[in-house]
Amino acid sequence: MKKQFTRCIFLVIFICQGLFSNQVSAQAIDSVYHDTLVQKKEEKLWQFRPIEAVAPVSLALAAFVTQGSISRHLQSHVVSEYPNFNTKNFDNYLHYLPAVVSLSLGASGVKGKHSFGDQLILALLSNLAAQGVTGSLKLISKYPRPNGEDNHSFPSGHTSNAFTSATILHEEYGQRSAWYSVGGYTAATTVGTMRVLKNKHWLADVLMGAGIGIAATKVVYISYPWLKQKVRRIRKK
């Protein structure tokens, strides 16, 4: 996972290092005018709405608030109420479902926000970003799981992946039907709930995982038009 994340970082750095290379005009005023048009056009590529930050920021804050005594109290109640809870690894597969549904729709010709090829790239970048952040925080925090299995509890990787998948489905097909968004986020929430019930994660872990999954996918989708334009310009050189 570290190698994949490192390669992704180098790829993004390579893309972002592409600078605008305009042909030298006969008159300096023409060059300035052209640069101004390019800058305005590039600014339009970034379509960010502040409301999109509400969910991930709220989830991250809730994770920090519930970290510690609140999560421990809830976990002790969960263990006492559901001591033998077992999903038979269902949660290990469910977190992929929303993304599989989204890509299956794209592959079958159902029109989404992007072409099927772009959907594949967006899914790859979103998962690399989300799991890169999640893995890094696990290494930094070294927080013990409630079952004492290891020190890789915070944040939840399963939940992060589930909400990444759900956000991909929402971004591509949520405008087509709200039921795609409802189904995707219901599946993701179920994964997080299962991780707590199985005594694999604290409440704070799944809240932070959900926030990371949504935030990483939103950032990738917002920046993707700009990244595509950068790649096109690099190829033309």
* Rounded CA separation 153/70 (Å): 16
pLDDT digits (tens, 9 = 90+) for 129-147: 999 999 999 999 999 999 9
pLDDT of 26 above 50: no
Residue 4, number of CB atoms within 10 A of its CB: 14
Distances in Å between the Cα of 64 and the Cα atoms of 70, 76, 126, 185, 224 are 10, 19, 23, 22, 30
Q: Is 86 exposed, middle or buried (0-12, 13-18, 19+ CB in 10 A)?
A: exposed
Sequential DSSP letters for 60-95: HHHHHHHTTHHHHHHHHHHHHH-TT---TTTHHHHT
Q: Which runs of E-coded beta strand occur in 129-192?
A: none
The CA distance from 185 to 155, in Å, is 18
CA nearest 196: which of 151, 162, 145? 145
Alpha-carbon span 98 to 213, nearest angstrom: 13
pLDDT, tens digit, 9 for 90 and up, residues 96-129: 999 999 999 999 999 999 999 999 999 999 999 9
Identify the band that residue 13 occupies on the pLDDT scale cut at 50, 70 and 90.
Answer: very low
User: What is the per-residue pLDDT for 88?
Assistant: 85
Q: What is the pTM of this model?
A: 0.80
